[in-house]
Amino acid sequence: MKIAEVTHKYNISRQTLYYWERIGLLYTIAKDSNGYRNYNEENLKQIEFVSCMRNAGMTVNKLKKYMVLYSSGEQTFGQRKQLIADQLDEIKHQILKYKNAQQVLEYKLNHYEELENSFNKKNAK
């Protein structure tokens, strides 16, 4: 798959792909005879994973650590699992914060709607 197709499919920029490749988040991307990148299924799986982890808030440094551990083999399962578990805990914490904020915003919005309705009824008389 060519880079234009990849950027479209995953809604990421060329610069992001180049950056991820340069810092080691993506392994070797094959190039055709003209020097154009040709992304294979393994590359696409890596892009999906990295993109998902970035969307989950994982830092580039933690992702780099994960990829180094991944390339080190089975003996790093526990460390990789812990990185993923830590990120999941962080997401759960963020979701809770957003849910609490949502409740406050909904309360305030309802309060203002009640005030507005009361004001409109009072002024309609």
pTM across the whole model: 0.78
- Convert the pLDDT of each residue in 73-112 to its tens digit: 999 999 999 999 999 999 999 999 999 999 999 999 999 9
Amino acid of residue 68: V
Residue length, the chain? 125
C-beta of residue 65 within 8 angstroms of C-beta of residue 84: no
Cα–Cα distance measured from residue 28 to residue 42, given in angstroms and rounded to the nearest whole number: 10
Average confidence (pLDDT) over 5-25: 95
